[in-house]
C-alpha cells in the first residue's frame, strides 16, 4: 500500500473516540443480494430514467443514514462495508458536508482514505488495466499513488493541469499527439478532462489510434444525463474564451494559474461523437452498492470499446 502523500488519518479522527462511533447496519434493511454491487450500461436518457427509478428503493437507506448523521453531529457514523483498495472489510466513515452528506466524497475508508469516488474509479482502472499498457490522466495524488501501486509499470500516469494538454511532473503530454504507437495500449482513461478541451474530437481520435482492438476508453467527464445534446459552456468571441453564464473552471489542486477552463457539458450525443471517432461501442455506465459504500445520485462514466 502506498503511504506517500496519503492524507493524514487524524483529520478524520479529530476529537472523536472510537467508542463514540455509531454503526449503520445495512443488513437490517436489505437482503445480501440487494447490498451487492450492481452496475449497468445506459445508452439513452430513457435508460437513465428507468434505472434511476428501479434503484430508488435502495436510496431509502441513504435518507435514513443521512438522518442518523444529522442527529449525531458529534459522533462518527460508520457504515460497515468492503474496501476494494484495501481488499478487506472496513468501517467507512460518513461525514456531513454543509449539512448534507456528499456520498461520493464523504464515505471514506479509515485505512486508505479513499472516498467512494476514488475507491470505485481506481479499483475499476486497476481491473481494466491488468492486461496491458495503459494511459491514465489522473487528477489527484491519492489516485495516482494507488494506480501506480496496483498497476506498476503497466500504467503511464499523467497529471492533467491545463486545457488541451496535460503535464507530467517531468514533461508534457499532448493528447492530440500521444507518444504511443498504433494499437499499443489496452486502456486510456481520464477523470474530469474531456470537458476541458475546446475540441474533444482530435483527442478522441488519438485515443482510438493508440488503443488495441477491444481496448477500452474510460471517461469521467461533465455529463448531463437529462440532456440529449452537448452544450457549449464556453465559446470563442473575437478569439477569446467567452461564456454568457460565467466561465467555468475546474481543477483538482486549487492553483489558480492551473485552472482548467470548461468548454462543454456533454449530453447523450457524445456517444455518437465517440463512435464516429473510431470506437466500436460507446455507452454510459452507472453503479451502486451499499456493501462497498458506493452510494449517492447515480454516478456516470463513459465506456467505449475500440
Ligand atoms: Zn481502504
Q: What pLDDT sits at residue 220? A: 94
Q: How many angstroms separate the CA atoms of 109 and 112, rounded?
A: 6
Pairing of strands 134-138, 155-162: parallel
Distance 111 CA to ligand 1 centre (A): 5
Ion ligand 1, residues whose Cβ is below 5 A away:
83, 85-86, 109, 111-112
pLDDT, tens digit, 9 for 90 and up, residues 266-285: 999 999 999 999 999 999 99
Residue 192 C-alpha to ligand 1 middle, in angstroms? 23
Ligand 1 centroid to Cα of residue 68, in Å, is: 23
Residue 161 is predicted with a pLDDT of 57
Q: Which three cell numbers stand for residue 255?
A: 492553483
Give the range among 199-208, 246-255, 294-303 with minimum mean pLDDT: 246-255
On whether the CB atoms of residues 191 and 142 are closer than 8 A, the answer is: no
* Ligand 1 center–CA 83 separation, angstroms: 5
* pLDDT for 3: 40
Residue whose cell numbers read 482513461: 189
Q: Residue 217 in contact with residue 135, Cβ under 8 Å?
A: no
CA gap 286, 120 in Å, rounded: 11
The pLDDT of 183-188, averaged and rounded, is 97
For 227, the grid coordinates are 440532456
What's the pLDDT tens digit per position in 88-120?
A: 999 999 988 777 888 998 999 999 999 999 999
| Residue where the block lists cell 467508542 | 19
Residue 34 has pLDDT above 90, yes or no: no
Question: Can you read off the three cell numbers belonging to residue 233?
Answer: 459552456
Give 173 Cα–ligand 1 centroid separation in angstroms.
31
Using the structure block, give the residue that is written with the C-alpha cell 428503493: 57
Between residues 165 and 289, the one the model is more confident about:
289
Domains (range + CATH), the chain: 119-305 (3.40.50)
pLDDT class for 242, splitting at 50, 70, 90? confident
CA of 88 to the centre of ligand 1 (A): 8
CA 105 – ligand 1 centroid, Å:
14
Residue 160 is predicted with a pLDDT of 64
Average pLDDT, the chain: 85
Residue-level pLDDT at 109: 95
Q: Which three cell numbers stand for residue 301?
A: 462514466
Distance (angstroms) between ligand 1 centre and the Cα of 39 equals: 21
Is residue 36 a contact partner of residue 84, using CB atoms and an 8 Å limit?
no
User: Ligand 1 centre and the CA of 86: distance in Å?
Assistant: 4
pLDDT at 20: 64
Q: Do β-strands 171-174 and 107-108 pair in parallel, antiparallel, or remain unpaired?
A: unpaired
Mean pLDDT along residues 58-75: 85
- How far is Cα 224 from Cα 267, in angstroms, rounded to an integer? 5
38-54 pLDDT, tens digit per residue, is: 999 999 999 999 999 99
Is 177:211 a contact under the CB 8 Å cutoff?
Answer: no
Does residue 188 register a pLDDT over 90? yes
Q: Which of 25-29, 65-69, 101-105, 301-305 has the lowest mean pLDDT?
A: 25-29
Q: CA-to-CA distance for 233 and 266, rounded, in angstroms?
A: 10
Task: Report CA(195)–ligand 1 centroid distance (Å).
Answer: 29
Cα of 197 to ligand 1 centre, how many Å? Answer: 33
Q: How far is CA 231 from the centre of its chain?
A: 21
Q: Which residues of 84-99 are buried (b: 16+ CB within 10 A; e: fewer)?
A: bbeeeebbbbbbeeee
Most confident of 71-80, 103-112, 221-230, 249-258: 221-230
Q: What is the pTM of this model?
A: 0.87
Query: Which spans in the chain are helix H?
Result: 10-13, 32-35, 45-55, 60-71, 116-128, 141-151, 201-210, 270-276
Cα(111)–Cα(94) distance, integer angstroms: 14
Identify which of 142, 75, 61 has the alpha carbon closest to the alpha carbon of residue 105: 142
Q: How far, in Å, from the CA of 104 to the mean position of ligand 1? A: 15
DSSP 75: S
Ligand 1 mean position, distance from CA 124 (Å)? 14
Q: Which triple of cell numbers denotes residue 209?
A: 489510434
Distance (Å) from CA 136 to ligand 1 centroid: 21
Distance CA 276, CA 286 (A): 23
Report the percentage of the chain scoring pLDDT > 70.
85
Instruction: Using the mean position of ligand 1's atoms as its centre, give its distance from the Cα of residue 55 in Å.
Output: 25
176 vs 233: CA distance, rounded Å? 21
Amino acid at each position: 500500500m502506498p503511504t506517500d502523500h496519503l492524507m493524514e488519518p487524524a483529520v478524520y479522527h479529530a476529537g472523536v473516540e472510537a467508542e463514540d462511533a455509531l454503526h449503520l447496519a445495512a443488513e437490517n434493511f436489505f437482503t445480501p443480494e440487494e447490498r451487492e454491487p450492481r452496475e449497468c450500461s445506459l445508452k439513452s436518457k430513457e435508460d437513465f430514467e428507468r434505472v434511476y427509478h428501479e434503484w430508488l428503493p435502495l436510496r431509502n437507506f441513504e435518507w435514513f443514514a443521512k438522518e442518523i448523521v444529522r442527529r449525531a453531529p458529534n459522533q462518527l457514523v460508520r457504515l460497515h462495508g468492503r474496501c476494494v483498495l484495501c481488499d478487506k472489510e472496513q468501517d467507512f466513515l460518513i461525514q456531513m458536508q454543509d449539512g448534507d452528506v456528499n456520498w461520493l466524497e464523504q464515505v471514506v475508508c479509515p485505512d486508505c482514505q479513499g472516498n467512494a469516488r476514488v475507491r470505485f474509479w481506481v479499483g475499476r482502472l486497476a481491473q481494466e488495466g491488468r492486461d496491458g499498457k495503459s494511459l491514465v490522466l489522473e487528477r489527484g495524488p491519492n489516485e495516482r499513488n494507488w494506480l501506480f501501486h496496483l498497476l506498476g509499470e503497466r500504467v503511464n500516469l499523467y497529471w492533467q493541469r491545463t486545457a488541451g494538454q496535460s503535464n507530467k511532473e517531468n514533461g508534457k503530454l499532448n493528447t492530440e499527439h500521444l507518444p504511443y504507437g498504433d494499437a499499443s495500449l489496452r486502456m486510456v482513461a481520464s477523470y474530469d478532462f474531456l470537458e476541458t478541451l475546446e475540441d474533444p474530437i482530435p483527442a478522441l481520435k488519438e485515443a482510438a489510434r493508440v488503443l488495441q482492438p477491444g481496448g477500452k476508453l474510460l471517461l469521467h467527464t461533465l455529463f448531463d444525463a437529462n440532456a440529449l445534446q452537448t452544450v457549449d459552456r464556453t465559446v470563442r468571441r473575437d478569439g477569446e474564451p467567452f461564456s454568457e453564464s460565467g466561465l467555468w473552471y475546474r481543477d483538482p489542486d486549487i492553483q489558480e494559474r492551473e485552472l482548467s477552463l470548461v468548454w462543454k457539458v456533454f449530453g447523450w450525443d457524445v456517444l455518437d461523437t465517440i463512435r464516429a471517432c473510431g470506437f466500436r461501442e460507446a455507452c454510459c455506465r452507472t453503479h451502486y452498492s451499499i456493501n462497498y459504500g458506493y452510494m449517492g445520485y447515480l454516478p456516470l462514466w463513459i465506456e467505449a470499446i475500440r
